[in-house]
Structure 1
Amino acid sequence: MLRFCTFCISRRFNPRRPVFQTLTRMVNMATSTRSTESNNGKVWAADDFNKRDIRDTKLWGDLHKHFHDLMSPAFGKVSDAADPELSPDGKTVSFTGSIWTKLEGSAEKRVCTVDVATCKMEVIAQGPNNDQQAKWSPNGRSLAFLSDRSEKGTFHLYVLDLDRLREAKPVRLPKGETAEYALWSPKGDYILIGAAGQGADKAGGNGSGNLNNSQGDGGSPAWMPTVEPDSQKKLGRSLWLYDLEKDDFHQLSRPELTVWESAWCGPAHIVAIASDDPSESSWYESSVMLIDASSGSDRTVYTTDVQLGLPAASPSGRHVAFVEGPLSDRGVVAGTAKLVKVGTKASITLDTANVDVSQLSWADEDRLFFIGLRGLHVVAGEVNVKTEKVRETWTTADGVGGRYPEASGIVDGRFAVVRSSWTTYPEVAVVQHGKSRTIASLDHEGAAYLRSACGPMEEISWTASDGTEIQGYLSLPKSGKKPHPLVLHVHGGPIAAFSNGWQLKYPFVPVFAANGYAVLSPNPRGSKGRGDAFVSQLQGDMGGIDAGDLLSGIDVLVEKGIVDPKRVGVMGGSYGGFMAAWLPTQSKRFAAAIPLAPVTDWFSEHTTSNIGNFDRMMMSPDDPYAPAGRYYDQSPLRFVQHCSTPVLQLVGADDRCVPASQSLQFHNALVEHGTESSLVTYPGEGHGVRKFPAVIDLCVRMLAWLNRHMPA
């Protein structure tokens, strides 16, 4: 790890007062109307920022070629992996493979297997549309998976008998229900299905918007309005139980209960993270509940004033484990491991070697497997719940899984993962005795192209003004003299974390690096990997203590001669978008700002978002309806008059957790105050831009904005 020396900001932020005078360096950038220049000459005109269709620009052509060179060598092949699971006999790993055929829409998902001994990979479910989330039956002879092959966007359960070469058998839920996950019972006689009503909200971390993007009344005339009901009871999440012998299923959970996550708790019960209110915001106030698998009756076994997730029960059902801690988004869970003995109200906190746990799985009745983040590294281990002793079994600096580390299918201490790094394309691996062995590399010529275009990425750390160590990643251009222009890349959440991974898991980061920009991706206060105390410092102080952490990192890079102080930009999505809007209202040092899906006014965010309990949690104890306080003090919109930094905002029209109106009001305010601003809204996109060719358009506009205001 490259460690930097201490550089302190003179004092803490006061959110009511822009901190122009507290910074050691001021940057005043003129917002001229010059055209962007590159080694190839003029490539982008000032008026292009106002164009809806920019496909005729040279920069579009350059980045279209970039993505084509990156992705086309893998067209028609499995090029990414998720949901790895080791079979009960340890001989085969199943996973969800991604297959691209063109730069349009999203990749199709396919259920794949790879033989652990021979490394032979097969695609065993052929769609159409998407097949995903395969789970092994306890005897290893069948795979249950989800597919929307019969109706795009609506998933049903399919069961594939591996002893027979025949089509997977569908289990169709009632109309309007879509399956989100499926779990075999311990004996393999039942499959538990977690389902959501058509039109229910997707989690913000999964793109926000609605499942199927409809209210279930397709075929209505174009003039017919949409309706926002005062109760979303019909759009909740329920549990269904499928009896394989009888080939029949029924709803298990009571209609009034919304079940967000669940797991088998022995053969007779289900442990669930659930709430009585189906709104997305109610997830923040969920409890751990036990549901009888015969009657559907339920009872609460654990409640807390913070968030819960990742339930897992021991084989007998005597012990229930789960993760607890302050969390930003449903489905983006990492925190403290807790244990409850069923039948008692007693709970204990498990020692997991200072790891923020992101997945739990029982190896046997006494040993609980965990994997998660400790600092910037992935750590796996197990806790003996009898002795309460912890044993670390594997650690890596590579990225493992998606947003947080994932591993499942624990067999005799072995488990499967998908790992990658800045230079390592995703691969399926099996971990045993503390060592990882690759069994399926998905590398291809496009990955080699990207490696050749980008410079190195390094782990870095520095000391904030109060002496706290802050960690992150620094991506550097392959060529070009120091000091470099820098893009400060702030993660969302804010309760999240950057981790190592291919492209750093964001397609625009290598685009910036390949075009001469250094990118700093830090984990300031509020990030996972450093324990709940590190996260909790941000509660009530968003844009305060974490802003100091971020700016101190920039200062260190400037002091080291790595970064040009006159060419520093800031970008981020969601909470990172908030910071990309907030920091330019507090400091003149930024030459360009690019907020994606930003919160710009916390009061209107509370009243228009579908996750109002999030801002209540982070602003506590302040009331959003009070005429003053944190909701006012920590809103970029309230300080827009201090912003002279050119701002480009990019948002999805269907975002429900951070509505596009947040960006519109900030854009209008910037224009009114004479600050250069551009607002780009993508139809059909939710919380983040995820589909091609919109991703290309996004990257083109971002790079053009940087080239215009802080050229490399």
Structure 2
Amino acid sequence: MTGLPDPGARDIRGTAEFERVAQFYRRWHEPAFGEVSGAASPSAAPDGRAIAFAGEVRADLEGRPRFRLCVADGSGIRRLTGADTADERNPQYSPDGRTIAFTSDRETSGVQQLMLADAASGQVRAAPAVDGTVEYLQWSPDGARILLGVAGLGADLAGGEGSGGVVRGEREELPGWIPETDSGVSGEDWRSVWLYDVAGRTVERLPLAGRNVWESAWCGPDAVLAVTSPSPGEGAWYTADLRRVELSGVDEVVYEPDRQLGWPAASPSGRRRAVVRACSSDRWVVAGDVVLLAEGRTAKVETAGVDVTQLQWLDESRLAFLGVRGLETVAGVYDADREETTELWSGATTCGDRYPVASFLPDGSAAVVHSGYSVPPELAWLRDGKVETVASLRHAGSDYVGETAGEVEPVEWTAPDGTGIQGLLCTPEGEGPFPLVVNVHGGPVWGWRNQWMLGGTYVRLLVSRGYAVLHPNPRGSSGRGQEFAEAVFGDPGGADTFDYLSGIDALVARGIADPKRIGVTGASYGGYMSAWLITQDERFAAAAPIAPVTDWHSQHFTSNIPFFDELLLADGPHGTSGRYRDRSPVTHAGRVRTPTLLIAGAEDRCTPPGQAVEFHNGLQLAGVPSVCVVYPGEGHGIRSFPAVADQGARLLDWFDRHLSLPEAS
């Protein structure tokens, strides 16, 4: 039976389905209200005895969680700051271990500014405010300065961060009739580098005129290594270069790539520099090859088959890295003097959020937030090839989820052209065949990993209700090298279509999936593929695209990343034919027979909500059951409660409604 009397109702509060889903989330989160239940941004204490981190704390199921400055050591977890309403992020130990720099929005909600805490006493002092919000920070090797990556208050978040503005909501009270305006680039859109002088307690902006700084890192004591572009528009990131910028503002280009760049890092002296070069879909979601720049030479670093997601120099010769290799997470060190790579740890579980991250010490050990589908987040060390748990964030609510969300297993199958495809399969208790939902990841250059949240909160909800959920990593995914990642470029919705369909066939053949009860969902590129697959194959009984692209032409002219669709399609938008038309789901809406639930965020600048509306209207004209749901205040993906519960209720009802077989007579 289904839970919503009307799937198109605007307000579903009070329905049995909404209450069931809300109860699931309450049982998950309520036992940890007021306590640290999640973690991000680990920072290793120099003596290896503690890990500072941003601890996720929920007081209720309203809005998004806030983060507190915390430390984990042998005695457990302690908060270093008071229990007020501030959101605190980006902790980093000073080189001497006495101070933890972090950011906080305690002065203005949503605007992060630099703070410094005494690591022993927790006493906090504020640094002078910068003009914007601090996105990241890094101590200089000598501890004399702190580099601050600052975004203007009009800048965009990356798609992987949720899109929309870096500061959510109105920054000033205005009458309701005041219009929204856009005249192109404004002064508040730029990203820049600021430097905090620890002894003098002063801040100043690095004088780099006409360059937007997406990422930066120290390059010796008197320079910065920066990924830059001449425009602050989100689309300009795709063609950014790498520059060495002296503190006087004098800059030189050190690397002009043919792909995207991320994770710049330099040795303490600045003599050796490194950056990750990759074919990428989103800023901050970069996994690829390591390029070493030293003594006027450029060389690709051997990383044991790992697509690298983080870099950190341990000293003048050793470069630590973290990344993905197939379904594994891998940590290693490259010795530039010996030109040798040593693998330090690899595992089927993982660390980090969008991609693996860690904080390394000179001995090669690394502080991480470790997790798996059945392993709640924990602060841990990667040491001697093992995971050493410091403090687990397990609680009664995570135990409940673990008891109801089934199991995960790696799966492999072969696409029609002979390409091997990997994925992760979540299954409920009991014997198959199960109703199957295919959950398509975004990007397309990203990849599912065995982590606590896996494909989002609704995955555990689906499994708890009796669905199997397949998470494929088709061509275009990270972890299989750049050739595999680039295989989808110029061919979205082409060969990768059959990577998904053959995965379904493999699970049907194994008796896991019921061929009459197949659904598909996914967000971003996953939303695109969820819409595309139902135009290509009639096996799907239901679809739920989230934050989709459905019309590449209108996407190009309404999105904040128009360069990306040209890169992905290897085509231009100015014409009446070609991939912009042929690979758009809306072009083929007339052939769809699959009931479709479309979900979007009203503030999504990456894949604007009009994309969901267009496909919904096309399906309605074709006589296909379709509901379009647009959440106010949400961006690229639904992230705030109670909207998360509302989305979960609608998804479950939609799949229950259309994937259930008729009762036997």
TM-score in terms of structure 2 length: 0.97
| Aligned with 1:411 (options 362, 368, 377) | 362
- Is residue 154–residue 188 contact of structure 2 (8 Å, CA) maintained in 1? no
* Alpha-carbon distance in structure 2 between the residues aligned to 1:84 and 1:550: 35
Matched residues, number: 660
* Alpha-carbon distance in structure 2 between the residues aligned to 1:483 and 1:214: 46
* Alpha-carbon distance in structure 2 between the residues aligned to 1:200 and 1:223: 24
Which amino acid in 2 is paired with 1:519? V
Cα deviation for residue 340 of structure 1 reads: 0.5
Other structure's SS at 1:147 match: strand
Q: Which residue of 2 aligns with 1:239?
A: 193
Q: Which residue of 1 aligns with 2:270?
A: 317
* Alpha-carbon distance in structure 2 between the residues aligned to 1:277 and 1:536: 26
- Is residue 378–residue 395 contact of structure 1 (8 Å, CA) maintained in 2? yes
Are 1:49 and 2:11 counterparts? Answer: no
Are 1:64 and 2:22 counterparts? Answer: yes
Cα deviation for residue 98 of structure 1 reads: 0.1
Are 1:513 and 2:463 counterparts? Answer: yes
Q: Which residue of 2 aligns with 1:360?
A: 311
Of the structure 1 ranges 219-228 and 646-655, higher mean CA displacement relative to structure 2 is found in 219-228
* Alpha-carbon distance in structure 1 between the residues aligned to 2:391 and 2:125: 25
* Alpha-carbon distance in structure 2 between the residues aligned to 1:220 and 1:290: 42
* Alpha-carbon distance in structure 2 between the residues aligned to 1:492 and 1:548: 17
Other structure's SS at 1:482 match: coil
Q: Which residue of 1 aligns with 2:417?
A: 466
Which amino acid in 1 is paired with 2:278? G
- Is residue 492–residue 574 contact of structure 1 (8 Å, CA) maintained in 2? yes
* Alpha-carbon distance in structure 2 between the residues aligned to 1:510 and 1:563: 18
Q: Which residue of 2 aligns with 1:161?
A: 118
- Is residue 45–residue 93 contact of structure 2 (8 Å, CA) maintained in 1? yes
Cα deviation for residue 281 of structure 1 reads: 0.4
Root-mean-square deviation (CA, aligned residues, Å) is 1.3
Q: Which residue of 1 aligns with 2:157?
A: 202
Gaps of 5+ in 1: 1-35, 38-42
Q: Which residue of 2 aligns with 1:524?
A: 474
Gaps of 5+ in 2: none
| Aligned with 1:139 (options 74, 89, 96) | 96
Cα deviation for residue 503 of structure 1 reads: 3.5
Which amino acid in 2 is paired with 1:133? N
What does residue range 136-285 of structure 1 map to in structure 2 within 5 Å? 136-162=93-119, 166-174=123-131, 177-213=132-168, 218-285=172-239
Other structure's SS at 1:213 match: coil
Q: Which residue of 2 aligns with 1:11?
A: none
| Aligned with 2:81 (options 106, 125, 135) | 125
Q: Which residue of 2 aligns with 1:385?
A: 336
CA distances 1:191-216 after superposition (whole Å, capped 9, x unpaired): 11111111211111001001223686
- Is residue 416–residue 498 contact of structure 2 (8 Å, CA) maintained in 1? yes
Q: Which residue of 2 aligns with 1:706?
A: 655
Cα deviation for residue 165 of structure 1 reads: 5.3
* Alpha-carbon distance in structure 1 between the residues aligned to 2:351 and 2:338: 29
* Alpha-carbon distance in structure 2 between the residues aligned to 1:214 and 1:65: 29
Q: Which residue of 2 aligns with 1:618?
A: 568
| Aligned with 1:630 (options 551, 557, 579) | 579
Cα deviation for residue 230 of structure 1 reads: 2.1
* Alpha-carbon distance in structure 2 between the residues aligned to 1:151 and 1:234: 17
Other structure's SS at 1:582 match: helix
* Alpha-carbon distance in structure 1 between the residues aligned to 2:589 and 2:108: 46
* Alpha-carbon distance in structure 1 between the residues aligned to 2:598 and 2:408: 27
| Aligned with 1:73 (options 31, 37, 40) | 31
* Alpha-carbon distance in structure 2 between the residues aligned to 1:119 and 1:287: 45
* Alpha-carbon distance in structure 2 between the residues aligned to 1:383 and 1:539: 30
* Alpha-carbon distance in structure 2 between the residues aligned to 1:392 and 1:559: 37
- Is residue 649–residue 680 contact of structure 1 (8 Å, CA) maintained in 2? yes
Which amino acid in 2 is paired with 1:237? R
Other structure's SS at 1:168 match: strand
Other structure's SS at 2:167 match: helix
Which amino acid in 2 is paired with 1:403? R
Cα deviation for residue 111 of structure 1 reads: 1.0
Are 1:600 and 2:538 counterparts? Answer: no
* Alpha-carbon distance in structure 1 between the residues aligned to 2:251 and 2:311: 23
Cα deviation for residue 163 of structure 1 reads: 5.2
- Is residue 320–residue 360 contact of structure 2 (8 Å, CA) maintained in 1? no
- Is residue 233–residue 256 contact of structure 1 (8 Å, CA) maintained in 2? no
- C-alpha distance 164-478 of structure 1, shift in aligned 2 (>3 A): closer
Q: Which residue of 1 aligns with 2:641?
A: 692
CA distances 1:32-85 after superposition (whole Å, capped 9, x unpaired): xxxx35xxxxx332xx21211111111111111111111111111100111111
* Alpha-carbon distance in structure 2 between the residues aligned to 1:310 and 1:545: 31
Of the structure 1 ranges 99-108 and 683-692, higher mean CA displacement relative to structure 2 is found in 99-108
Q: Which residue of 2 aligns with 1:15?
A: none
Which amino acid in 1 is paired with 2:268? P
| Aligned with 2:294 (options 341, 346, 361) | 341
Moved beyond 6 Å, runs of 4+: none
CA distances 1:531-588 after superposition (whole Å, capped 9, x unpaired): 0000111111001111111100001111122111111001000000000000101111
Which amino acid in 2 is paired with 1:136? Y
Of the structure 1 ranges 273-282 and 383-392, higher mean CA displacement relative to structure 2 is found in 383-392
- Is residue 106–residue 691 contact of structure 1 (8 Å, CA) maintained in 2? yes
| Aligned with 1:326 (options 279, 293, 297) | 279
Other structure's SS at 2:194 match: strand
| Aligned with 1:302 (options 250, 255, 259) | 255
* Alpha-carbon distance in structure 2 between the residues aligned to 1:165 and 1:643: 60
Q: Which residue of 2 aligns with 1:82?
A: 40
Cα deviation for residue 182 of structure 1 reads: 1.5
Cα deviation for residue 189 of structure 1 reads: 1.2
* Alpha-carbon distance in structure 2 between the residues aligned to 1:97 and 1:219: 31
- C-alpha distance 446-234 of structure 1, shift in aligned 2 (>3 A): closer
* Alpha-carbon distance in structure 2 between the residues aligned to 1:289 and 1:503: 36
* Alpha-carbon distance in structure 1 between the residues aligned to 2:349 and 2:75: 21
Cα deviation for residue 233 of structure 1 reads: 4.3
Other structure's SS at 2:107 match: coil
* Alpha-carbon distance in structure 2 between the residues aligned to 1:211 and 1:454: 34
Cα deviation for residue 455 of structure 1 reads: 1.8
Q: Which residue of 1 aligns with 2:536?
A: 586
* Alpha-carbon distance in structure 2 between the residues aligned to 1:691 and 1:214: 13
* Alpha-carbon distance in structure 2 between the residues aligned to 1:411 and 1:128: 36
| Aligned with 1:424 (options 360, 375, 379) | 375
Are 1:397 and 2:353 counterparts? Answer: no
| Aligned with 2:384 (options 412, 433, 445) | 433
* Alpha-carbon distance in structure 2 between the residues aligned to 1:602 and 1:410: 46
Q: Which residue of 2 aligns with 1:16?
A: none
Cα deviation for residue 437 of structure 1 reads: 0.6
CA distances 1:213-267 after superposition (whole Å, capped 9, x unpaired): 3686x23322111111222343110111111222221110424211010000111
Identity percentage over the alignment? Answer: 45
* Alpha-carbon distance in structure 2 between the residues aligned to 1:384 and 1:377: 22
* Alpha-carbon distance in structure 2 between the residues aligned to 1:230 and 1:151: 26
- C-alpha distance 482-165 of structure 1, shift in aligned 2 (>3 A): closer
Which amino acid in 2 is paired with 1:665? E
- Is residue 198–residue 214 contact of structure 1 (8 Å, CA) maintained in 2? no
- Is residue 439–residue 455 contact of structure 2 (8 Å, CA) maintained in 1? no
Other structure's SS at 2:400 match: helix
* Alpha-carbon distance in structure 2 between the residues aligned to 1:314 and 1:165: 30
